[in-house]
Structure 1
Amino acid sequence: MADAASIDSLPSDIRWMKLAAPVLAGLAVLLMLTAGALWLAKRPVFEWRQIRIEGDVERNSLATLRANAMPHLEGNFLSMNLARARAAFEAAPWVRRATVQRVWPGQLRVVLEEHRAVALWDGRGDWGEPAPERALLNSHGEVFQANLGDVEDDGLPQFSGPHGSAPTVMRLWQQLQGPSQSLGETVVKLELSGRGSWRLAWESGAQIELGRGSEDELLARYRQFLPHALAVAKRFQTTVASADLRHTDGYALRLAGIGTTPVNQKTKRKP
């Protein structure tokens, strides 16, 4: 109480100086600590000694990663922003995800996950027409950009559909492949139009109009069509050229070299 009273009795300028002195001293200590930390952070002991790349490197060579990511890495062991470093590696071609961490002393550990391309993707959804900028679809149903020349020998199927429909298209393709391959066919193209209608193409060149419906409805329609259509083609010793499954009571089937044959659902069920 006496100290407080004595301070209050001092002139205002001296009183403020006494009150500010501890604050200024604290700020001075803080500045000294900051300067010391900055000086310490710049010491050679904290420089990077090694950048270790692990995980998927099938599509990316060390030279490619060095050219795409290294110019964007800034700072040393203490000062590097790991989020920016991760973004630099994820910007490299074919890299889906990167995990970046510091490992003492002086090592930057990078674990990469690459895209696994499962199809070519045309985001416009126009059947048979090239998109302004074609892309690829990975095993997670995600669209990504990469050099299409890297997969030109992989025999990837071609998907197309409206924006955001890639996972739906890939899922239906996976469901269609089983019954197709069991009868010697392979679905190499699958399109979802902007109006919700589906169309596919076989490796043999036949184009099949599936029409609209839920996934279960489309699969049931396709499974019912397959054995009958291929049996008809075998009987005429030819192949399926195209088919339209959008009819309520049957489908229209065109055989190579013969023409279009309407097939009724009731007719198909006869032995």
Structure 2
Amino acid sequence: MSLSPLPLDVRLMNATAGVLFAGVFLFALAALLGWAARHPAFDIRAIVVDGEVTHNNAVTLRANVAPRLRGNFFTIDLKDVRVAFEAVPWVRRAFVRREFPYRLHVTLEEFQPVALWARDDTDVDARLIDRTGVLFDANLGDVDVDALPRLWGPPQRAAEILATLGALRPVFAPLDAELVGLDLTERGQWRAELDNGGRIELGRGEAAELIERSRRFVATAPQVAARYHRSADAIEAADLRYPRAYALRLKGVTTVSAALPSRKGPAPQPQTKRNG
């Protein structure tokens, strides 16, 4: 036995009732949310911070973040909270979540400085480089900058310069000298600095080319220094930009004997040139 369809007026009444019910429900929901948005019971009363907090404390975080927070548990924008925390010195990333009914939980990830970004040791605008190659500003007094290598070059190539330093350091290890500085000039010339103050002109090229030149130099420089009764620690300067040779200057080594000053001025410091 088939059921006959409901009359049109009954169907219209049912549809109207459904619409009215949905409208009342939405209105009640909006009123409830409005009440919750204004009720002091849901004000943010606590912010739990964990993670990497070596360079920050509760006072610093409160002073930097609290004035920028707007809203309560339901209305606060977590993106704004994240941005506020990431504006604090040393904070690399912040992860924020709500904890009902009135608390925020923030996990911080700090920058890990691995190098100093400075033109020279007197650069007052020095910055720091994170392990990922990101430049950031921080209080240099919080870091032992003397223990960090110094890098310089186009800021957009900071990550590349950091990676090149990491690739070159093991190459110079046989000299019992540590690479403590690396510069990339605007013209694309690479220049390295040893911990004894020695300067190494590496020339142009990719990391692989710099490594190959450096290996040839490291393999023979101690032998050249030994001829003058010097160790590799006496390297004052070297120029590796020659195709199959390099120029080397050693501390305390000269081929000029003592004599009266020339009218043309003092003689230049001679260099030892080694064929590669």
Could you list the per-position Cα deviations for residues 158-214 of structure 1 after superposition, in whole angstroms to 9, with x for gaps in the alignment?
Answer: 101113110110011001111223431111110111111100000100000000122
- For residues 234 and 72 of structure 1, do their structure 2 counterparts lie closer, same or farther at Cα, with a shift above 3 Å needed? farther
In structure 2, C-alpha distance between the alignment counterparts of 1:59 and 1:167, rounded to whole Å: 23
In the alignment, the residues of structure 2 paired with residue 48 and residue 129 of structure 1 have an alpha-carbon distance, to the nearest angstrom, of 46
* Per-residue deviation, 1:73: 1.5
Partners of 2:201 and 2:185 in 1: CA distance: 11
Cα distance in structure 2, aligned partners of 1:182 and 1:62: 47
Selected match of 1:263 from 263, 270, 274: 274
Distance 1:88 1:70 in 2: 9
Instruction: Indicate yes or no: 2:197 matched with 1:205.
Output: yes
> Alignment partner of 2:53: what SS?
coil
Residues of 1 paired with 2:86 and 2:78: CA distance?
A: 12
How many angstroms does 1:2 deviate by? 8.0
Does residue 95 of structure 1 match 2:87?
no
2:48 is aligned to 52
- C-alpha RMSD of the superposition: 2.8
- The one of 204, 219, 222 equivalent to 2:211 is 219
Point out the more displaced range, 81-90 or 138-147: 138-147
CA distance in structure 2 between the aligned counterparts of 1:129 and 1:55, rounded to whole angstroms: 33
Output the CA distance in 2 between the equivalents of 1:128 and 1:45.
55
So what's the TM-score if we normalise by structure 1? 0.82
What one-letter code is carried by the residue in structure 2 that aligns with 1:38?
G
How far has the Cα of 1:255 moved from its partner? Answer: 0.4
- 1:16 corresponds in structure 2 to none
Match of 1:8 in 2: none
Which range moved further: 127-136 or 170-179?
Answer: 127-136
Query: d(CA) in 1 for partners of 2:249 and 2:198?
Result: 9
Structure 2 matches for 1:227-266, cutoff 5 A? 227-238=219-230, 239-258=234-253, 259-265=270-276
Aligned counterparts, 1:4-153, within 5 A: 30-31=26-27, 33-122=29-118, 128=120, 133-153=125-145
Q: Which amino acid aligns with 2:88?
A: A
Q: Do structure 1's residue 157 and structure 2's residue 143 form an aligned pair?
A: no
Shift of 1:55: 0.4
Shift of 1:76: 1.4
2:65 and 2:174 map into 1 onto residues whose CA distance is 45
Matched length = 249
Quick one: distance in 1 between partners of 2:138 and 2:149? 16
Indicate conservation of the 8 Å contact 2:116/2:129, yes or no.
yes
The separation in 1 between residues aligned to 2:121 and 2:54, in whole angstroms, is: 31
1:61 shift after superposition? 1.5
User: Deviation string for 1:81-118 (max 9, x for gaps)?
Assistant: 00000000000000000000011232211000000001
TM-score calculated relative to the size of structure 2? 0.80
> Aligned partner of 2:272: which letter?
T
SS in 1 for 2:47: strand
Q: Is the 8 A contact 1:240 1:254 kept in 2?
A: yes
Name stretches of at least 5 consecutive residues in structure 2 with no aligned partner: 1-6, 10-17, 254-269
CA distance in 1, matches of 2:132, 2:125: 21
Contact 1:188 1:201 in 2 (8 A): yes
Gaps of 5+ in 1: 4-21, 266-271
